Chain A
């Protein structure tokens, strides 16, 4: 069975676990870098990206996560997770993992009182998707290999770059598991390298 890890350093971990299980895959909370070897795909949850980055450094996750990506295994970043995945961040000299070919801007919809819910048209989904945006980032621009999957008010909020999937919002906060399902299918279709 497909096993999907949720980076469990901080943030909405439990909700992703619930969503993965609802999609019929096995979920594992990843608190130590060596656990990465036991999973087929990794979700980086919403939370505070600066906090997660501190903990990634502190517990030596950086290289093992890059190795994980190099092995071709799919990764899905939601909100703070998207910021961790991206190759470039507005206002920062260095990215975090620097894997997904997008430029993101943090807190780009404003502070908490501007946080919102909205219905999105998502490529590949026949019904609109209710998305929850919390102090959300957005994708300012995407590289040539990146496919834009959803926009909100002319801003890119969901995209896929090969094995990497990233969104500005929080699929884990609703009972709509279609995006998690999409990721589970990406993981199932990924070539297995030994």
Chain B
């Protein structure tokens, strides 16, 4: 009997496919998310837009909040650790969190090295903007990927850019001849063996969710249309006028992302979505996607 194998870690992410993972900051929000049909919740101290507004150093959530959320729901609970913060990740693992997000939403603890995620029993999800970044994280042991997007902005443009980029690069690798792959690995900064595996499989070896800017049911459906395996919604739900309705609508739009009449119906009378931000209004230092490599 073996725990923490790649199959067990990646399989856990496979079970989340077609679903929505919602950011929550307390037990009450976690229950609302579960009731609305979320496949998992991300336990946080603050949602990304509040982290952005608060400034300063953003760290792992208070373990009391994580514990409160774990006790409130029966669906899986995820939590974020800072990039490269071995101890935060170990603490979350010891608490029995089901998945850890090594996340650029928090202030990085290490600007050079990401976690060696294969050392852990708990699985990890990491953000990526392109196939090089995606395969480096898989190489370190990430069992699930997500786009970085630009968290806390309510602006989908960066998530779209990252999803399209990764998928275009996967298609390119799949169509290459084997003798071209080493050069592609050099150009992308990608592990050679992983590019070979992608060529064999015809796709990434782990699931890739959309994250970072999903604010409406249509945004969630758009990301599914572009090939996302599922959707993370951060600030979008609990910063909207009617979180309960919003959460349900985003779940439905993700399942039936090509049923436009349904999306039109559920998008009526939702109230306002979170207020969005224009990406160009953010200075380079304020873009969370620039954290990590």
Contacts and interface: CB of A to CB of B under 8 A. Distances in A.
Contacts of A112: 12, 76, 96-99, 122-123
Contacts of A48: 15-16, 19, 39-40, 75-76
A51 B14 contact: no
Interface residues of B, number: 37
Given A10-B17, A113-B121, A135-B76, A51 B5 contact: no
Nearest to A111: B96
Interface string B252-263: 100110000000
Q: Which of A55, A134, A174 has the most CB of B within 10 A?
A: A134
B7 interface: yes
Interface in A42-58: 46-48, 50-51, 54-55, 58
Nearest to A172: B14
Nearest to B5: A117
A113 B252 contact: no
A20 interface: no
Given A50-B74, A51-B75, A11 B121 contact: no
Contacts of B75: 48, 50-51
B37 A116 contact: no
Interface residues of A, number: 37
Interface string B116-143: 0000011100000000000000000000
Given A10-B39, A11-B17, A55 B74 contact: no
Contacts of B96: 110-113
Contacts of A118: 1-2
B14 A12 contact: yes
Interface in B22-65: 34-40
Q: Which of A51, A54, A135 has the most CB of B within 10 A?
A: A51
B14 A115 contact: no
A15 interface: yes
Contact of A12 (B4, B15, B123): B15
B74 A134 contact: no
B15 A47 contact: yes
B3 interface: yes
A132 interface: yes
Given A112-B98, A113-B122, A135 B14 contact: no
Interface in B259-293: none
B37 A55 contact: yes
Contact of A9 (B18, B34, B76, B121): B18
Interface in A84-123: 106-107, 110-118
B8 interface: yes
A159 interface: no
A47 B20 CA distance: 12
Contacts of B89: none
A157 interface: no
Nearest to A115: B8
B56 to A, nearest CB: 31
Given A10-B39, A113-B122, A132 B251 contact: no
Nearest to A91: B74
A112 B78 CA distance: 10
A170 interface: yes
A168 to B, nearest CB: 13
B67 interface: no
B93 interface: yes
Given A47-B15, A48-B40, A107-B74, A117 B8 contact: yes
A84 to B, nearest CB: 14
Contact of B11 (A9, A110, A113, A134): A134
A156 interface: no
Nearest to B120: A113
Contacts of A10: 17-19, 39, 255
B7 A113 contact: no
A12 B229 CA distance: 10
21 contacts: A10-B18, A10-B39, A46-B14, A47-B18, A48-B75, A51-B19, A51-B38, A54-B36, A55-B255, A58-B252, A111-B97, A112-B122, A113-B96, A116-B3, A117-B2, A117-B8, A118-B1, A134-B11, A134-B15, A173-B14, A174-B7
